[in-house]
Amino acid sequence: MTAEWSDKIHELFGYMVLTLIGFRMIWGVFGPPTSRFKHLVPTLRSIKDHVGNLINQNIQHATGHNPLGALMVIILLSTLSIAGITGYLSQTDAFWGYEWMNDLHEATGELSLALVGIHLCGVAVMSIIEGQNLISRIWIKYPSR
């Protein structure tokens, strides 16, 4: 969307997204246990079990992301990374003017927007189903002094 308004703003947002992804990668290695990648990657079995539990209304409260949420995080990190990297590369001498690079950048950017919307809807639905405010759980709570 920002490419329509200003190339400079679009480029700035692209670098911001790549910086945030870099931070998330570091957080996935050194952050709290529920944020680490070793706990984030769901198995096919855990996804099937989670979907089955949702269908049967057997709600399991997850510490951290549930299997579908974890899968969405991985997909979002991947598509946003591809969008950011292809955006950067399309401006380099090596890839300047390659239409497929621009097409991939645009497709992954638009896919990312759709996925963010799906993710937010999923968080809202799971907050209602589980009867808890999942949004509030993302904020780091520091003990009062």
Domain-embedded: residue 64: yes
Rounded to two decimals, the pTM is 0.80
Closest-CA residue to 138 (of 73, 78, 75, 82): 73
As for how many domains the chain has, the answer is 1
Q: Is residue 40 part of a domain?
A: yes
Task: Determine, yes or no, domain membership for 103.
Answer: yes
For residue 121, what are the domain limits?
Answer: 2-138
Report if residue 41 sits inside a domain: yes
DSSP, residue by residue, 92-109: STTTTT-HHHHHHHHHHH
145 within domain boundaries: no
Classify residue 143: in a domain, yes or no: no
Cα–Cα dist 10/12, whole Å = 5
Residue 96 corresponds to which amino acid? Answer: W
* pLDDT tens for each residue of the chain, 145 residues long: 676 678 889 999 999 999 999 999 999 899 888 778 888 888 899 999 989 988 888 887 777 788 898 899 999 999 999 999 999 999 899 888 899 999 999 999 999 999 999 999 988 888 888 877 777 766 655 444 4
User: Hey, what amino acid is at 21?
Assistant: I
Running DSSP on this structure, what letter comes out for residue 60?
-
The reply to whether 111 falls in a domain is yes
The set of residues, in sequence order, having a beta carbon less than 8 Å from that of 87 and lying 6+ positions away, is 11, 14, 105, 109
User: Is 144 domain-assigned?
Assistant: no
